[in-house]
Amino acid sequence: MAPRFQAPRGTRDLLPEDLGRWQWAEERARGVLERYGYREIRTPLFEDFELFARTSGESSDVVQKEMYRFQDLGERDLALRPEFTAGVMRAYLEHGLGGRTRIHRLWSAGPVFRYGRPQKGRYRQFSQVNCELVGSAAPGADVEMITLFVDLYQAWGFRDLTVVLNSVGQPASRRDYGERLRAWLAPVRERLSADSQQRLVANPLRVLDTKDAGDLALFRERGELPRMLDAIDAADRAHWDAVLAGLDAVGIAYEVDHGLVRGLDYYTRTAFEVHDRALGAQSALGGGGRYDGLIAELGGPPTPGVGFAIGLDRALLVLEERGAAVPAPAAGVYVAAMESTRTAALALARALRRRFPVELDIEERAFGAQMKSAGRSGARLLLIVGEEEWGRGEVVVKDLASHTQETLARAGLEAALAARLAQAPPDPPAAGARGAHRTETP
């Protein structure tokens, strides 16, 4: 019989066996972020709908079609966050962070929600790692952000990633560019998808987001795309040149993509993304850019910022497809008891759990059954709390990897176990002899 309830469309359960990879990725990311001096900030999963409408742009896909918008019982107009930046900037203003120090480096990670059509690498609830560098308009801030962006992927084992970059200018130069785009597409306007025709009127840059195969063929028919870089002013051009020089200096490979405009309206100047072809249509692994107008848009003092979001689901999907190994969980200790030493074993396990992963039978099963469980548990050490040994203040310790056995005193046991757990296990058995380590019943 099919289960009565299933996870809502576009959402997934991450089972314990999936989470090893997630936790490893999150830990690696946390390490990189800390070394770059970024501090974590946690904001609510939902905010006023208006906050997202204001920052992402009324005509963006996210606001128009993808928002989980709802009214609570107090009739507030709310939405699940479709991205982090708006909430983080709301918090930045609400707590007056800008008045404390000029530059803030902030990161967050967690679920975001978009009502899109689910497919491989595209979910309605997915996870992002998000970073913001608020308070500096210097090209060095963009360079730091892009370097951090690449270093996060490198910490996960990605190699040879190429960042694609563009400048999206300022609102005025974007309007100018929008006109060039309209003129460029005028000869094929009637043949564009209905969506793109609408966008061409409301917000022409958004046409470049199209995934429609017919639209893309028409772009190719038109030849070379007008370049945003030809429309930006001298100050934006100088900024752009300085960012590229900085990336060259740190050795980050990049390509300029004249069609890169990003999905949200608040970007200014630098925009960047990274793609991986293994993902097919949903190839974007992450992206970001500068948003110098965003904080003022929210009613704050004009404050520059630059940030990015990395899609964790997609990054992990790629690593999984490549068969990247997940580090095994730390091997620990299995405590086995006799009928007469169960309470002693229970207390011992509790004490050892202050330092080590410890497994213990909770069903008062026979010794043989405990031995079988120990063999399957993945524990490195088996502690046998035998009646006689325990009476002498000792336990028997078997190393399940090297099959050696010794009797150790309870006093000082923690240090002795730590030393043994830290030893590298012997070489794995040759092919053909693989499988769980066998434990013999004493």
In whole angstroms, the minimum distance from the beta carbon of 206 to ligand AMP comes to 13
Closest CA to 210 of 221, 199, 202, 220: 199
- Which of helix, strand or coil describes residue 337? strand
Q: Does residue number 378 form part of the binding site for ligand AMP (CB under 6 A)?
A: no
Distance between CA atoms of residues 285 and 150, nearest Å = 11
In whole angstroms, the minimum distance from the beta carbon of 267 to ligand AMP comes to 10
- Which of helix, strand or coil describes residue 30? helix
**Minimal CB distance to ligand AMP: which residue?**
311
CB atoms within 10 A of CB 28: 15
Q: Does residue number 126 form part of the binding site for ligand AMP (CB under 6 A)?
A: yes
Q: Does residue number 134 form part of the binding site for ligand AMP (CB under 6 A)?
A: no
Q: Does residue number 113 form part of the binding site for ligand AMP (CB under 6 A)?
A: no
Phi, psi dihedral angles at 241 (to 5 degrees): -60, -40
Q: Could you tell me which stretch among 12-20, 115-123, 213-221, 226-234 binds ligand AMP (CB under 6 A)?
A: 115-123
Contact, 81 vs 52, CB < 8 A? yes
In whole angstroms, the minimum distance from the beta carbon of 163 to ligand AMP comes to 12
- Block residue for tokens 């979001």: 309
Q: Does residue number 263 form part of the binding site for ligand AMP (CB under 6 A)?
A: yes
- Block residue for tokens 């025709």: 197
In whole angstroms, the minimum distance from the beta carbon of 67 to ligand AMP comes to 13
Nearer to ligand AMP, 32 or 317 (CB): 317
- Helix axis angle for 85-94 and 49-56, nearest 10°, is 110
Contact, 170 vs 233, CB < 8 A? yes
Contact with ligand AMP (CB under 6 A) among 41, 164, 185, 309: 309
Nearer to ligand AMP, 134 or 360 (CB): 134
Q: Does residue number 400 form part of the binding site for ligand AMP (CB under 6 A)?
A: no
Contact with ligand AMP (CB under 6 A) among 286, 289, 304, 386: 286
Distance between CA atoms of residues 359 and 308, nearest Å = 42
Contact with ligand AMP (CB under 6 A) among 128, 173, 303, 439: 128
Nearer to ligand AMP, 122 or 180 (CB): 122
In whole angstroms, the minimum distance from the beta carbon of 131 to ligand AMP comes to 12
Tokens of 94: 């609400």
The arrangement of strands across the sheet holding 381-385 comes to 358-360, 333-337, 381-385, 394-399, 404-409
Q: Does residue number 289 form part of the binding site for ligand AMP (CB under 6 A)?
A: no
Q: Does residue number 110 form part of the binding site for ligand AMP (CB under 6 A)?
A: no
Contact with ligand AMP (CB under 6 A) among 28, 30, 69, 122: 122
CB atoms within 10 A of CB 117: 10
- Which of helix, strand or coil describes residue 372? helix
**Cα-trace Rg, the chain:** 28
User: What is the x/- site pattern for ligand AMP, positions 28-67, by CB under 6 A?
Assistant: ----------------------------------------
In whole angstroms, the minimum distance from the beta carbon of 317 to ligand AMP comes to 9
CB atoms within 10 A of CB 122: 17
310-329 positions binding ligand AMP, by CB under 6 A: 311, 313-314
Phi, psi dihedral angles at 255 (to 5 degrees): -130, 145
In whole angstroms, the minimum distance from the beta carbon of 123 to ligand AMP comes to 4
> What CA–CA distances, in Å, run from 264 to 20, 143, 209?
33, 21, 10
Contact with ligand AMP (CB under 6 A) among 21, 104, 114, 174: 114
Write out the residues near ligand AMP by the rule CB under 6 A: 83, 114, 116, 121-123, 126, 128, 263, 284-287, 309, 311, 313-314
